[in-house]
Amino acid sequence: MGDDEHTVFIGGKPFMNYVTGVVMQFTTQSANEIVIKARGKFISRAVDIAEVATKRFLENQVSVQDIKIDSEEFKNKEGRQVRVSTIEIILKKTK
Amino acid sequence: MGDDEHTVFIGGKPFMNYVTGVVMQFTTQSANEIVIKARGKFISRAVDIAEVATKRFLENQVSVQDIKIDSEEFKNKEGRQVRVSTIEIILKKTK
């Protein structure tokens, strides 16, 4: 799933940190493709970040190439099996 | 974007209502394709519902066919232009 160098994990930092991170990787680090990844409640945020980056900052330069959703199962602190959803949004330069 | 009859809009109702709604449309209303739609903070929930429906209840019968994200712009109560992200998750019978 792509180069880790060009993966952005979405968490609780300020929204624009992530948008700037994505935009900068395309513009100053000449990335061709970036994968935005998030889990659980941060999935909505990942979509917002992809939308703002591609439509407000990189219009006609970068677009959504693919979107994948999946689940991860793990044991929580109490030893219960829990499931969390994940998303990967692949952004790609259009030329 | 498909038949409205087979569209499920995700909001604040109990989680399992939506999962059951999706599963029932496939099993008792013989839908071939269902579109799960959500906006803003409900996007994470839409992904959870798609994952639980396809992996826990309809495994090997229904899978994610396509995922689309987009933005809607509208004026809020104060007259300010605001943007909200949207998602459409298309589920399809595998046979």
Give this prediction's pTM. 0.92
Domains in chain A: ranges and CATH: 4-93 (3.30.110.20)
Interface probe with A: pick from B19, B44, B55, most Cβ of A within 10 Å = B44
ipTM of this complex: 0.90
Rounded to the nearest 10 degrees, how much is the dihedral formed by the CA atoms of A38, B84, A55, A3?
0
Does the CB of A89 have a partner CB in chain B at under 8 Å?
yes
Element (H, E) at A22: helix A15-27
What is the DSSP code (8-state) at residue B18?
H
pLDDT tens across A14-61, in order? 999 999 999 999 999 889 999 999 999 999 999 999 999 999 999 999
Nearest to A85 among B41, B47, B67 (CB): B47
Tell me the sheet residues that pair with B90: B35, B66
